[in-house]
Amino acid sequence: MEVTSLYEDPHGVLWFGTRDGGLHRLQNGQDQRVAALNREGGPGYAMGICNNRAGDLLVGTAGAGLQVFRNGQLVRTFSSADGLRNRSIFSLTIDREERVWIGETPGVDVLRGSTISIPGENAEMLSKTTILSTYDDSDGTVWAGGVNGLYRLKAGKWALVAFRPDERMLAPEFFCLLEDDNGNLWSSGSRGIFCVSKHALNEFFDGKRSSVNCRAFGKADGLKSPDCSNVYFPAGCRLPDGRLAFGTIAGLAVIDPNHLQFNSLLPAVQIERVVADLIHVLPIRAGNQAVQLGPGAHYLEFDYAGLSFTAPEKVRFKYRLDGFDKDWIDAGTNAEAYYTNLAPGTYRFRVIACNNDGLWVPEEAAAATTIVVQPHFYQTIWFALLCAGAFILAVWLLWRWRLQQILEERTRLARELHDTVQEARLDSSGGLKQPRVLPRKCISIRCSKALMTCPNWRVRT
């Protein structure tokens, strides 16, 4: 018999659902089948179970809606006709005001008394995701974990962003939401168990920071398998002594947050080599912190390392090429950085790392090396100046040539005008019978009056 959900009520009775649609209770060592959670077309097994103050047992089912039991008897079923958006429910949480938070596909509904509604402003943030877990913390903030990240409802508004762990280390699912005594939220996903500071999460949702580090736990920390998928609900729970229990595909994993060792040692970061155009390997040694690259270096690879004896596979890096990058680039656990088509100039490559507990090397202590990319002759300043001078000289010569042409044309026109006027005077004094034609190009402002005084001349049009 496959168990799909577990819940222990305030009286110590263990309630659980089975894959065949049965609802059972285990009391005084006796297993009793209470009800069959049926839906159209087959059984609707239980996935979320909780109690209200009146002692009613609320059961969220896969396909059979929200069912309410009193003294082991079904008294009401909430469905889409009552405002429920989906008949498949993954999680139920009751807060201090007796509101029932319902995680489903899609989004979150809330049950107040006998009324179901969509809670909070900006609820469309959750309209396209499946909510697997909900949690109401001590300050009234509601957290909703889904298949694509974590959402926050505070002061009646859903934050406009979703938090997702670094996909290079963890998956985006939040199968459960648990809080420890140190102000951390814990969850599990298909790639491991992780925790994150609630204070850092609030700063992220308030827009005060762009990223939040998660502390992840995997095989190196004692898990037989980091995969927590294919388990049912709840995927994790808090035990009375403060320990946290999570279901994995390899069995139950228990973590004591109050006795975890914190790694306070910063990893030693070192840049090992620079590879240019996949051919030229330039090792970085102590005292040799500058690398000269010839003209035409199109492809650069930086290889670096972070040395840590505690979970070295969890060492993460950030790098930055001053003069090219505007901000630090999060490389995750990758120990290489690549650049192409760098312009000639001087650059400074820096890299920092963090240990398995998210403690980062300060930026001022980053490992660094200087890269000088030499230019081709046509990329130098003197070549640009030479080209600019040649252009200016060509423009000046063209202007001088044009000016000379204009002056020569003016001289020729003046000479022709002078000769023509002289001929006109001689012909006028000798009695010219037929008027002569004066070319249009000889007409100018300076000679207009002189021509008008000659009655025997006309202008050819």
How confident is the model at residue 41, as a pLDDT? 63
Name the token pair of 27. Answer: 């009391």
**CB-based contact 44:61 (threshold 8 Å):** yes
Q: Going by C-beta distance under 8 Å and a sequence separation of 6 or more, which residues neighbour residue 393?
A: none
Positive or negative CA dihedral for 74, 76, 77, 78?
negative
Q: Give the per-residue pLDDT at 288.
A: 58
pLDDT score recorded for residue 28: 82
Rounded CA gap, 111 and 83, in Å?
10
294-310 as b/e: b if 16+ CB within 10 A: eeebeebbbbbbbebee
| Residue 85 CB neighbours (<10 A) | 16
Phi and psi torsions of 392, nearest 5°: -65, -40
Q: Which two tokens stand for residue 349?
A: 């490559």
**Local structure of 294: helix, strand or coil:** coil
List, in order of start, the domains of the chain with CATH numbers.
Answer: 3-259 (2.130.10.10), 268-377 (2.60.40.10), 381-459 (no CATH)
- Calpha distance 145→99 (Å, rounded): 18
Cα gap 425→420, rounded to integer Å: 9
pLDDT of residue 339: 92
Closest Cα partner for 351 from 368, 371, 339?
368
The alpha-carbon radius of gyration of the chain (Å, integer) is 42
Evaluate whether 5 touches 48 at the Cβ level (below 8 Å).
Answer: yes
Q: How far apart are CA 301 and CA 324, in angstroms?
A: 15
pLDDT in tens, the chain (461 residues): 688 888 888 888 888 888 888 889 888 888 888 888 877 666 778 888 999 888 899 999 888 889 999 988 889 888 888 888 877 888 999 988 889 999 988 889 999 988 999 998 988 888 888 999 999 998 889 999 999 999 999 999 999 999 999 887 888 999 999 999 999 999 999 988 999 999 999 999 999 988 888 888 888 788 888 888 866 778 888 888 999 999 888 888 999 999 888 888 889 999 999 998 877 888 887 655 678 887 777 789 999 999 888 888 889 999 999 989 999 998 988 999 999 888 888 899 999 999 888 888 999 999 999 988 888 777 778 888 898 999 999 999 999 999 999 988 888 888 888 888 887 777 766 554 444 444 544 444 444 444 444 444 444 43
Residue 203 CA to chain centroid, in angstroms? 17
pLDDT at 286: 64
Beta bridge partners of 103: 91, 108
